[in-house]
Structure 1
Amino acid sequence: MNKGRQANSNAKHVAGITLVAAFIAFMMQPARADDPAKLLKAMSDYTAAQKSISATFDSDVEVVTPELEKIQFTSSGKIQLSRPDKLRISRTGGYTDVDFIYDGKTASIYGNNAKAYVQADLVGTVDQLVDLIQAKSGVAMPGTDLLLTNAYDELMSNVVLAQHIGQGMIDGVECEHLAFRGVDTDWQIWIESGARPLPRKYVITSKAVTGAPQYTLRIRDWKTDAVADADAFVFKPPAGVTKVDLNSGAMAEFDEIPPGTPSGARK
């Protein structure tokens, strides 16, 4: 009996050592290092192939004061896209409450705090619209560059170094963590692993600005098969609001930080 117990004890001891050794070997495995450009291209192709998209987001914009103190301004919102020519972005924060609506022919931006809106007759695709609005007004449109049909080309245009950092968890979803370096701007993106390579987190660092402020975007509640209500892309000005010119100084009221506050964390 003693020999039997001893043999059983030895077997358990060996099994324990084997289990520990296997665990250590597993933990010491090098992290999977996939091609970051390939992973980004898969995301771009997947989102571009979706005819309709909706998601919610939280965004943080950092600014650096003259005293080198970092201050963050936070907003939340929703994006709805119906390709090729319909888009709506709603964003609310401490200094902004804004709707951007495009129905394929007219672009409208309404600021609830400003009690004003701007409109422009623009016929084209969402891709063309995003480029034009950001170039003319400077209004932030969180995450729209991730949803363009040519997102890969836009994102990679100034990249000098790309890395696959490893895996991460965003809102409980396993993601591939990628990092990209540019001359003036670095950025990171977390892309959902598996069959739905959707962007879940996006961080832009402005290296050329003192203090290297960041823009952070978290995206969740992704739906790629829901048919949006046609009314979602129709703008009806509320009673008592003022229409202003697209190039007027009033456009500052539509931004997500207080007017006159400098910010370098934009891409």
Structure 2
Amino acid sequence: MPTRQQPVRWLSISVVIAAFTPPLYAGQTPAVDAPTAQLEPKALDVLKAMSARLTSTQGLSFKAVTTYEKPSRLGPALAYSTVALVNEQRPDRLRVLTSGDGPATEFYYDGKQAYAYERKDNLLAQVDAPPTIDATLEAAYKRAAIYFPFTDVIVADPYKDLSRDMRMAFYVGQSTVVGDTTTDVIAYTSDTVFVQAWIGTEDKLPRRLRAEFLDDPSRSRHQVDFSDWKLSSAMPATFFKPDQIESAHRIKFAPPPSLRAPQGVKEPVTKP
């Protein structure tokens, strides 16, 4: 799974979500005391309710503010942030406009083509895409190292995607300080990532995801905050294409050199 932003001229977007050791709420026992391989039903119910809410409508939009850490020259981590404006119409329309600490990038998928666009230098990468959002996200990652930190929110079945490799999940408590609403706080982990999630108690929408990738040597923490939810977003087909297709300078839809396998070496198959 990618853990850092990639050079803009390949239009690779690989900022990812993250986490930290969860705080303890009143009456809550430490997470380290939780039995191994335990999937607490209450935590799973929160995830199932969130998944059902997200898939109850064909169209949705939201804002995702991602804060991620990267080690500084002195050792302690520096924090960087990006803002993504996301529009989705299932099963085959997606638009993600990303800005923040780094170059602004745009990603479009219209059901037939995927486009990665960098407006400042008018650079466009375009490629044939699979017929669904899920398949296109997987292809974009494998082909160009493009990955979004909110991928688990926009796939066709969020609960199936989240629970596939889960080996522990537990309910932490409730919070009233995230997302201007009451949220249920849960934590879950696989062998590679530990996530703490704040899910709206009433509306069942994700408000914050905070994760730590366990196979990352720096154990950097990443956080995504969600807001401006709209569940019935319907946009015209032109909304899911760049507006400068004809005049843009074309570049290859490919990962940056740092993520390419050396010549003569078979590239390993990875899954985000």
Place the TM-score, normalised by the shorter chain, in its bin. Answer: 0.7 to 0.9
Cα 1:29–1:218 shift into 2, 3 Å: closer
How many pairs were matched up?
225
Of the three residues 78, 85, 110, the one matched with 1:78 is 85
Aligned with residue 96 of structure 1, among 103, 112, 115: 103
TM-superposed deviation, 1:80: 0.2
CA distance in 2, matches of 1:43, 1:77: 20
Larger Rg computed on CA atoms: 1
1:209 and 1:29 map into 2 onto residues whose CA distance is: 31
Contact 1:61 1:72 in 2 (8 A): yes
Matched, 1:142 2:130: no
Structural mapping, 1:220-239, within 5 Å: 220-237=227-244
Q: What is the identity, as a one-letter code, of the residue corresponding to 1:237?
A: Q
Partner of 1:245: 252
- Does 1:171 find its partner at 2:179? yes
Moved more, 214-223 or 201-210: 201-210
Q: Structure 1 residue 45 and structure 2 residue 73: aligned? A: no
Q: Which residue of 2 aligns with 1:118?
A: 125
Partner residue of 2:139 out of 132, 136, 143: 132
Q: Is contact 2:88-2:94 (8 Å) kept? A: yes
Query: For residues 110 and 211 of structure 1, what CA distance do their matches in structure 2 show?
Result: 31
Once the two structures are overlaid, the 10-residue window that deviates more, 180-189 or 233-242, is: 233-242
Q: Which residue does 1:192 correspond to in 2? A: 200
Higher deviation after alignment, 206-215 or 196-205: 206-215
Gaps of 5+ in 1: 1-27, 253-265
> Which fold has the larger relative contact order, with Cα–Cα distance below 8 Å and residues 6 or more apart in sequence?
2
Q: Distance in 2 between matches of 1:249 and 1:114?
A: 17
Give the match for residue 11 of structure 2: none
Name the TM-score, length of structure 1 as normaliser: 0.76
Residues 182-220 of structure 1 deviation map (CA, whole Å, 9 limit, x = unaligned): 2221011111112x2111111120222233101211010
Q: Quote the residue 2:267 is aligned against.
A: none
CA distance in 1, matches of 2:242, 2:216: 37
Q: RMSD of the TM alignment (CA)?
A: 2.6
Structure with the largest fraction of helix: 1
- Aligned-pair identity (%): 20
**Per-residue Cα deviation, 1:74-127 (whole angstroms, up to 9, x for no partner):** 111210011110000101012120111111111101012453111111141111
For 2:27 and 2:110, the matched residues in 1 are separated by 49
CA distance in 2, matches of 1:42, 1:95: 35
* Alignment CA distance shift 1:37-1:106 (3 Å): same
